[in-house]
Structure formats: C-alpha cells, structure tokens
Amino acid sequence: MINDFKPTVSAVSSAVEKVDADALVLGVAKSPEGPVLLPNPLADKAAKGVADSLKALGASGSADQLLRLPGVDGFKSETLVLIGVGPLTGEPDGGVSPEALRRAAGSAVRQLSGADAVALALPAATVEQVSAVAEGAVLGAYNFPHFRGSEEARSKTPVAEIAVLTELKDKHTKQAVSRAAVVGDAVRATRDLVNTPPSHLYPESFAETVLQAAKSTKVKTKVWDVKDLQKEGFGGLLGVGGGSSRGPRMVRMEHSPSRPVAHIALVGKGITFDSGGLSLKPSNAMTTMKLDMAGAASVAAVVLAAAELNLPVKVTGWLCLAENMPSATAQRPEDVITIYGGKTVEVLNTDAEGRLVLADGIVAASEEHPDAIIDIATLTGAQMIALGNRTVGAMGAEDLREDLVDAAQEAGESLWGMPIPEEAISTFDSDVADLTNTGAREGGMLNAAAFLREFVGQKPGADPKALDPESQRIPWVHLDIAGPSFNSKGPWGYTPKGGTGVMVRTLITYLESAAKA
C-alpha cells in the first residue's frame, strides 16, 4: 500500500545443485540427542556435508540461531545457511509444527536481508508445510526504509526472490504459495501503515492511501469527510477528532462476491495519533502512539486480501479514523457526545477515545445486518497487563470467539478468549448520559468490551421480549491488540521491530473458514 516492494515466492522442485541462489537454507532442530538437520530430499547432497558436524559448527537448533557456511563445491548457491527451528515436538509428521517452520523461514529471510535470492530447503513434504515455509518467508522479507535520508538507505530492499524447495508440484502446492504471497502483502501493508509516522499518516491521508490501494481492485470504497460525519451524526469520531487540525474520516470498504455465503463486518480503530487529548498522556506513554491505528490498518489489508483471494464471503470494513489531540476545539472531560444512532456518552477521560470512534463504526456496521461483526483495536493498556505483548484478547459472542481462536491457532497467532463479566457494564453508569466512557480500572480490557457491546445492533427479527437480551444481538467479537500490534523489542522469527500486522493472518484464515462453512 505504501511500499512497492513485493518479494516473489515460488515452489521449486529441482535438486538443490541446480538452484541458483545467494543462500541455501537448511533447518536445524533441537532434539534430546542434540541438534538434528531437518530433512528435505532435494537438499540431500548439501546436507551430507553438514549433518554430522552440527555440534562442531556450533549449531544448537535454537530458534533464530543463524549460521553461515561457505557454499559447498558443486553447488550454485554461494552460502549454506543453517537456521534454528527450536525443539522437536515429538509428533509423527517429522516433529516440527507449521508455526515453527514459519518462524524459521521468516527468521532466515529476515536475517539474510542484503541477499537477493534465497532458497529454502526446510521440511516441505506436505502442502501445509510448503504453505508455512512460504508464508514465514514472505513475512520475514520486510523493511521500512522510506523515512531514511540517504538514497542508498532508502533503496535497500529485503530478500526479493524466495524459492521453497519441495518435491510437490500439484495445483494445491501452487495455490498455497500464491496465497502466501497475498497474505504476506496484507501483513506487510499493515506494518507499513503502523510504522508510518503521524506527521505523514493522518485521517485524510490514511483514507487517500486506502482509496488508492483499492483502485486497481474490485473493492468498493466510501469516505465520510467532516461535513458528512456532521450531517449523519457520527458523534464519536467528531468528538475525538475535534481537537485536531486534521479532521476525522470514516471509510467503508466492501468486497462483495456475486454469491456470498455470509457477510462479515470488520470495524477497526484508526487513531492516527493518540496524545490522550485534554486528558494528556505523559510523554513516555505518548511514544508508540502512532500504533493506535493498527486495527484500521489490518481491516483495510484484510478486505483487500479477501478480494485478492476471491473469497466467496461478503466483507465490509469500517475504518474509524481520527487524531486525538488537545486544543481549544478538543472535547473536554464531562462533555456529552451523541454516538451515531443516538446513544449518549459522558466523556470523563478523553484518553478513552478508541471506544468512542468504534461505537460509531459498530452502530454503522450493525445497520447492514451482517452475520457477524468483529472489531479490532489497540484499545487498552490493560490488555498488556492481562496478556502481555504477544497474546491478543478476544471478547464477545462465544461461538464466534471460538471460531476466531481456532483460526488463530491455524494461522500461528496467539489469541485468548476472555470474559465480559456481568458487573462490568454498571461501572459505566453516568449521572447525566446513557454511559460514561470510563469503567472500572480493574479488568480494564474486559470493561471496555462491555462498553462496546452496548453498540452492537440486534439480529434481524430479534425478539424484544427475549429472556436473554444478549442472545438477540448480532454475533460480535472484540479483539484487543494493544500490545501485540507493535514490537518495541528486538526482532524474532518473522516478526520485525515496529508494527507487526498481528491478526491479519487470523482474520484471513477466519474468512476462509467462513467461506467453507
């Protein structure tokens, strides 16, 4: 979307002697007996030279360990590279999980940045394994040089040509590899948007970027500017965005195949910078707050990927874009705003802004009666306290939540179901409006979900007298990605520093399973 760089990835079934790459990568796993070289029949000859000397070479099999050896005589590849895969699982399939392969492939490609072409001779005996290796590799081929000063730095690209060595050559293998390319593009686009500084990414430019990206596809788009938002009463976006000289936007995206089997709505928090507003954040808490649009970025990337993959599911994406700034026109603590659709909220803390813009988006999405609504947001600091920096919290309708957790498991992402306690919503009681925007501090991630649920519409034909009113709502799940959306520590596996693109793969996998159901 922002970056034109796209690695090419292909399945190659020729013996490794013939493969002309800058590096040939073999996998080393940890076993109880020490490091073991993982099999790939196409690389038998290259493997012979190193299999018995792993210990002597210092290869441990630990994840992310990369060793470069001089190329072996008779091979075209200049270097032989050993990448650690981590411990064997003891499973009969060779003992490496798809996620271990993804990480190993990604780690190798990431660390080999500077090389043009890389051939991966990791285990690739099944379509699932080929898919994992290809996906990990394209996820590892990432950099973000656009804001460097020198031409030289800006022109540095990651590994551009990836070959996955496999004896398989059926159409499922080819499909798996081209799917991996689409998934890689989606994740990298999300990372780019997250990494783009707030000087350059603000509601208008975000909307413009998405429109540009959708132009060459069948995805339909609609943008509400400030006037449109006022006319239709999007009080959450207007309240949050009111303090900025760069006004808010709502973007609707639509992928509509001819005979859709379901309609899934995705709603993303898109705060292009969260200063806290008048409830100003301390300076330390403000750095990284360019990440606060990661939800909207992933929604945009997933809708485009759904179109690219021709999924027979209708997908609508709602990007709730605003910049949260303090100024004379900013909303004040104690203001009352009217969310799209009419519910009122007393804003007690202007830093609890994500739920306000999402409320507008969830009500708007509900009006179209989708079969399910999934919102994704960097919503609470409490998410990190509860689940850390690598595990996303999922709250809401049980069946949908479990389907998403299953999709995450398949995609290799960490998603954990969390409850919405029954007492949570009463902590939002306001003296003057329908709700306040701040609930109890304890269980802050769960409470925020209780607030959002108030804005989820009823199913068509809902029974207003139903004993369990929650059962009458459109199935909805809230994903809190506050911590996992951004990696402030060192890179690992296929995950770079900075924006991660977390949940993009899970959402694509979920849409694929919805397409099959």
Interaction residues for ligand BES, span 422-481 (CB under 6 A): 438, 444
Residue 351 in the binding site for Mn ion (CB under 5 A): yes
Q: At 87, give phi and psi (nearest 5°).
A: -70, 145
Residue 375 in the binding site for Zn ion (CB under 5 A): no
Residue 331 in the binding site for ligand BES (CB under 6 A): no
**CB closer to ligand BES out of 22 and 353:** 353
Residue 482 in the binding site for ligand BES (CB under 6 A): yes
Q: Scan for tokens 């990835």, then name that residue.
A: 9
- Binding Zn ion (rule: CB under 5 A), the pick from 99, 185, 192, 292 is 292
Task: Determine the Cα–Cα distance for residues 108 and 164; give it in Å rounded to an integer.
Answer: 13
Interaction residues for ligand BES, span 190-229 (CB under 6 A): none
User: 320 with 357: CB under 8 angstroms?
Assistant: yes
Task: Determine the Cα–Cα distance for residues 189 and 268; give it in Å rounded to an integer.
Answer: 15
Task: Determine the Cα–Cα distance for residues 371 and 460; give it in Å rounded to an integer.
Answer: 10
Residue 512 in the binding site for ligand BES (CB under 6 A): no
State the minimum distance, in angstroms, from the CB of residue 170 to ligand BES: 44
Q: What is the DSSP string of 279-336?
A: SPPPHHHHTTGGGGGHHHHHHHHHHHHHHHTT-SSEEEEEEEEEEE--STTSPPTTEE
Task: Determine the Cα–Cα distance for residues 369 and 396; give it in Å rounded to an integer.
Answer: 17
State the minimum distance, in angstroms, from the CB of residue 217 to Mn ion: 32
> What amino acid positions are annotated as catalytic residues?
281, 355
Residue 43 in the binding site for ligand BES (CB under 6 A): no
Tokens of 50: 């190193």
Q: How far is CA 320 from the centre of its chain?
A: 17
360 binds, among Mn ion, Zn ion, ligand BES, none (CB under 5 to 8 A by kind): none
Residue 480 in the binding site for Zn ion (CB under 5 A): no
Long-range contacts of 438-442 (CB under 8 A, 24+ apart): 438/348, 438/349, 438/352, 441/382
**CB closer to ligand BES out of 155 and 284:** 284
Interaction residues for Mn ion, span 257-276 (CB under 5 A): 274
State the minimum distance, in angstroms, from the CB of residue 427 to ligand BES: 11
**Rounded to whole angstroms, what are the CA distances from 291 to 209, 381, 404?**
17, 13, 23
- Binding ligand BES (rule: CB under 6 A), the pick from 64, 99, 353, 454 is 353
**CB closer to ligand BES out of 111 and 350:** 350
- Tell me which residues touch Mn ion (CB under 5 A): 274, 351, 353
- Tell me which residues touch ligand BES (CB under 6 A): 274, 292, 349, 351-354, 378-382, 438, 444, 482
